[in-house]
Structure 1
Amino acid sequence: MIYWNSLSDFLAMGGYGLYVWGSFGVNVLIMAVEPIVVARNQKATKARLKRQIRAESRSGD
């Protein structure tokens, strides 16, 4: 088990702090942005499908 003597030792992570905390930060950012991107894509896809269905129903008459 690893023990740290201070908060700065913990944040430094034995010299790998930038990598560890940078990776953690990127993960948090992606997990926060992903639902927003999915919701936007879902809305755009639904709108596109509605337009396509309307166009096909007009041409089928």
Structure 2
Amino acid sequence: MNWHSAAEFFGMGGYGLYVWGAYGATTALMTLEPWLAARRRRRALQAAVGESQR
């Protein structure tokens, strides 16, 4: 494809909302997942330490 302006590029021939929405959702989820995994790990380690002190 050949775009003549930035607006045409971001519009993606009328599909820009879907294309950029998919990129945005993917970026958000790929950012969120490591944070959630670290949080789950931290809580599991805290629970394991709590169990061993009983």
**1:6 and 2:21 aligned:** no
- Aligned counterpart, 2:23: 24
1:1-60 deviation line (CA, Å, top 9, x unaligned)? x111110000011110000001101111111111111111000001111222233xxxxx
Question: Partner of 1:3: helix, strand, or coil?
Answer: coil
- Aligned counterpart, 1:37: 36
Structure 2: which 5+ runs fail to align? none
TM-score (norm 2): 0.88
TM-score (norm 1): 0.79
> How many residue pairs end up in the alignment?
54
- Aligned counterpart, 1:50: 49
C-alpha distance in 2 between matches for 1:36 and 1:27: 15
> Between the two proteins, what is the percent identity of the paired residues?
35
